[in-house]
Structure 1
């Protein structure tokens, strides 16, 4: 059972529904526990399972007997939590029903020590804690009251198949026109939630400098992401981004797409994908762009340098717009280089980030099989 009692919507909340189809293909029977009416609950339903739902996190604790009865009825032996606040329920269930295995994935990257009495109790019942990158594992080792052997690095995985190009030239050009792209323009995209940590403001400054250092380059920026809180974005920040676009004179040079459910197809319309996130715990957007075979510029901070090897893309300092402008200019001027980097990125995604391998490693842990290449 995957437990995610969150009313937000980001990579953490999307994770259970992302892997459920592959869990089923590999012979497991997944269940879910989510907040009633949440996007998590809706995503689990869309993935093919009807989750057990609770009105609130507090209600879930008060109805622990109901959850235990559900676990017994469905012979559930593994719990997997994705928010640290959900460990209260997970640890309580594991305490009340000996034999339950409890797993926790730290999707966010812990930022402060968690070694007080409560956290020693809760994490003491965790069978395995998964870090989603080496960068976060280093922080986990320092912050959590667990021995090193119970903290394992397990990179996230994606289903690579949707990212294989499908559009013919006419459909691709039609999509580019929808994004306000002229035929001769290099399309520079930035997908992700519109929140300060994702670096959109830095990217806009980089685009303004790109215009200055490469006046001969025809380009257009495509900012992909929801514009409302319901879609996971910071509405005040979105307003500031629009104001900055106007101040920089980029109104005709940048398209705000709003939320799009067709990201794999949007990648086909892009030439360069930028991921300027600061201190990213993993960098799922980087992997998705790699799967799509795109030339990528990523921030040189957090886990992104682990994902984006030198032959797969370029790294730029997360606080230096000039570095971003120079990287975008280099890739924008060289279509052959973009193609080579994109092909190398796709091959790395196939080797390292396929959801099938991720789920095999995960279920080996569920089953207590030691020795799979999960990381140390």
Structure 2
């Protein structure tokens, strides 16, 4: 614990976008500083502190005047406040906000007690009433990469058609899965070379919603061409196999799907939810349409289905765009600057 300079708490067992961020970011941060996670639901190979080591937070690390407690949820902010102000732990508190809505009074109270605040996009920052820095999420551009061989092409999927189009994320109304399915029911009969894939699971409360979507596909006679893939063991190769990604969320926190697709050489049709509009260069790496507008989503998708060469060309540009602006190392470096500013006593 004497070597731990930054603690990244994760107080949610179920996988979420926040958890995914921690899983990807911490190993890279660990190359440059002493960082440890705290909490359930994380891979065993991440650097961790155990619950019985929490009292060690009352002492200073070996080479810093205090530790950084980097929270990403309300519960984690509260824990940091209690540790710092009740138990007098030598901590500075950092909070990353991805929410794109007015915060409730309780959340505002927590945020005002942070020593530094980070927004994951300009849009999420616009809802903060405190000074903050925008640090957009990055992704591992080695893990998410363009196709390199036959195992990465659509033929390797074993599915019908020549081209694939994918929608990734949990199956629920918020994610706009129904908008994607409706677009496919309209378009696939006109474009026989394409097959649509829906990745992700439906939680118990969304099972009726998912069943309804499957029924609509079945009634349209498209059961072989709209595949509900569920949670696959490794979703990464599928970003390379498909020719187009669709991210039709009605609302989103940040949303990594377009970045993962574009880094894999696949353009994205996305709503303007989350930070999608700040990731995609319209007409160059994909298209952005109004959230919830099924007609606009359908028309944008059809342009690519009618001209697969455009998808290929924009996919190449998308890879270059993500490499230049959204590599995970850029996020790690920007956060390191926030931490160093606190350690140096800068406002």
Q: In structure 1, what is the Cα distance between the partners aligned to 2:212 and 2:102?
A: 27
CA contact (8 A) 2:58 2:89 kept: no
**1:327-346 counterparts in 2 under 5 A?**
327-346=300-319
Structure 1 residue 335 displacement after superposition: 2.6
CA contact (8 A) 2:259 2:322 kept: yes
1:158 and 1:328, CA in 2 relative to 1: closer, same or farther beyond 3 A?
Answer: same
1:171 and 1:316, CA in 2 relative to 1: closer, same or farther beyond 3 A?
Answer: closer
Structure 1 residue 5 displacement after superposition: 0.8
One of 315, 334, 349 as aligned partner of 2:322 = 349
1:194 matched to 2:171? The reply is yes
User: Any unmatched runs of 5+ in structure 1?
Assistant: 55-65, 371-376
CA contact (8 A) 1:157 1:354 kept: yes
CA contact (8 A) 2:145 2:240 kept: no
**1:43-192 counterparts in 2 under 5 A?**
43=43, 45-47=44-46, 49-53=47-51, 67-70=54-57, 72=59, 77-95=67-85, 96-97=87-88, 99-114=90-105, 119-120=108-109, 122-141=110-129, 146=130, 149=131, 151-165=132-146, 167-169=148-150, 172-173=153-154, 175-177=156-158, 180-182=159-161, 184=162, 186-192=163-169
1:4 and 1:224, CA in 2 relative to 1: closer, same or farther beyond 3 A?
Answer: same
Q: In structure 1, what is the Cα distance between the partners aligned to 2:14 and 2:330?
A: 27
1:240 matched to 2:231? The reply is no
User: For this pair of structures, how many residues does the alignment match?
Assistant: 332
Residues 13-53 of structure 1, C-alpha deviation per residue, up to 9 Å, x if partnerless? 2221211111022x211111114xxx2xx32x233x23424
CA contact (8 A) 1:279 1:303 kept: no
Which residue of structure 1 lines up, in the alignment, with residue 340 of structure 2? Answer: 367
Q: In structure 1, what is the Cα distance between the partners aligned to 2:96 and 2:35?
A: 16
Q: In structure 2, what is the Cα distance between the partners aligned to 1:84 and 1:330?
A: 42
CA contact (8 A) 1:290 1:342 kept: yes
CA contact (8 A) 2:137 2:331 kept: yes
1:250 and 1:318, CA in 2 relative to 1: closer, same or farther beyond 3 A?
Answer: farther
Q: In structure 1, what is the Cα distance between the partners aligned to 2:185 and 2:147?
A: 33
Which residue of structure 1 lines up, in the alignment, with residue 15 of structure 2? Answer: 9
SS in 1 for 2:12: coil
SS in 1 for 2:128: helix
Greater helix content: 1
Q: In structure 2, what is the Cα distance between the partners aligned to 1:216 and 1:88?
A: 53
SS in 1 for 2:223: coil
Residues 69-116 of structure 1, C-alpha deviation per residue, up to 9 Å, x if partnerless? 3452755611011111221111111213364110111233344442x6
TM-score with structure 2 setting the length: 0.87
Q: In structure 2, what is the Cα distance between the partners aligned to 1:173 and 1:188?
A: 10
User: Any unmatched runs of 5+ in structure 2?
Assistant: 1-6
TM-score with structure 1 setting the length: 0.81
Which residue of structure 2 lines up, in the alignment, with residue 58 of structure 1? Answer: none
CA contact (8 A) 1:2 1:79 kept: yes
Structure 1 residue 234 displacement after superposition: 3.7
What's the C-alpha RMSD, in Å, of the aligned pairs? 2.5
Q: In structure 2, what is the Cα distance between the partners aligned to 1:285 and 1:129?
A: 24
CA contact (8 A) 2:59 2:89 kept: no
Structure 1 residue 228 displacement after superposition: 4.9
SS in 1 for 2:28: helix
Q: In structure 2, what is the Cα distance between the partners aligned to 1:336 and 1:174?
A: 17
